[in-house]
Amino acid sequence: MPGVWDLRARLYDICEGSGLRRGPPKAALFRHMKGRVLFAAIGTGADIAHFPPGHEIVAVDISKEMLRRAEARRAGYAGNLRLVEADLMRLEFPDASFDTVATSCTFCSVPDPLRGLRELYRVLRPGGQLLMFEHVRSHMPIFGFTLDLMTLWSRLFGTEMNRDTVGSVLKAGFRVEQIDSVFLDIILAIQGSKNG
């Protein structure tokens, strides 16, 4: 799987630059970061511009090429930001290592989302917070069907457009505290926590 993302790194910024997946809603969500932060799947670092300054953040990605491209953006962050090559389904951090875990358009691409979310749950301290900016399958029939059709194509490139990410978050053990719609019910800002 890392090889696929190494190839996609060249197009990643174009995809992340689309109007529905950038900017103010991400900054508003990430403003809630506190303590030691794990950012899951940093990609080329496009989201670093939306991080609040002054935090200690460990940002992981499975792709060496994504991390290479993220380095220039990392250097411009006004805080302590470390890039680490890692697989979300097999994180090498100890239990309860982080106060916040955050994602951005990540769980459409993790091969086993429930396993990945359970790993995030494991490394989050009791009472720690989950911040997710994710696109999901719409509950509106026409949009849900459209996303199902899009997934037939997008799945070839490692992205599932029609996942029930909120359902997976709950199954992984998190408590969901707030869901804000960024675009219809397709792009969501999710805030949750680990039971303490």
pLDDT, one tens digit per residue, over 62-102 is 999 999 999 999 999 999 999 999 999 999 999 999 999 99
pLDDT, one tens digit per residue, over 129-166 is 999 999 876 776 677 667 666 766 666 666 777 779 99
What residues contact 114, with CB distance under 8 A and at least 6 apart?
A: 168, 171, 172
Closest CA to 109 of 159, 63, 66, 162: 159
pLDDT on residue 18: 44
Binning pLDDT at 50, 70 and 90, where does residue 189 land? very high
Whether the pLDDT of residue 109 is over 50: the answer is yes
**SS3 of residue 196 by DSSP:** coil
pLDDT on residue 185: 82
Query: What is the distance between the alpha carbons of residues 193 and 196, in angstroms, rounded to a whole number?
Result: 9
Mean pLDDT of 15-24: 57
Looking at beta carbons, which pairs linking 144-148 to residues 24 or more positions away fall under 8 Å? Answer: 147/186
**Percent residues over pLDDT 90 in the chain:** 66
Buried b (16+ CB within 10 A) or exposed e, 88-119: bbebebeeebbbbbbbbbbbbbbeebeebbbb
pLDDT on residue 146: 74
Lowest-confidence range among 3-17, 47-61, 70-84? 3-17
Whether the pLDDT of residue 119 is over 60: the answer is yes
**Whether 120 contacts 88, CB under 8 Å:** yes
Query: What is the distance between the alpha carbons of residues 12 and 163, in angstroms, rounded to a whole number?
Result: 20
Binning pLDDT at 50, 70 and 90, where does residue 3 land? low
Closest CA to 136 of 104, 102, 114, 160: 160
Whether the pLDDT of residue 14 is over 90: the answer is no
Whether the pLDDT of residue 20 is over 50: the answer is no
**Whether 73 contacts 100, CB under 8 Å:** no
pLDDT on residue 19: 42
End-to-end CA distance of the chain: 34
Sign of CA dihedral 110, 163, 102, 8: positive
Pick the more confident residue, 105 or 21: 105
pLDDT, one tens digit per residue, over 29-43 is 999 999 999 999 999
pLDDT on residue 183: 82
Classify residue 49 by its DSSP letter.
G
Show the domains of the chain with their CATH numbers: 2-194 (3.40.50.150)
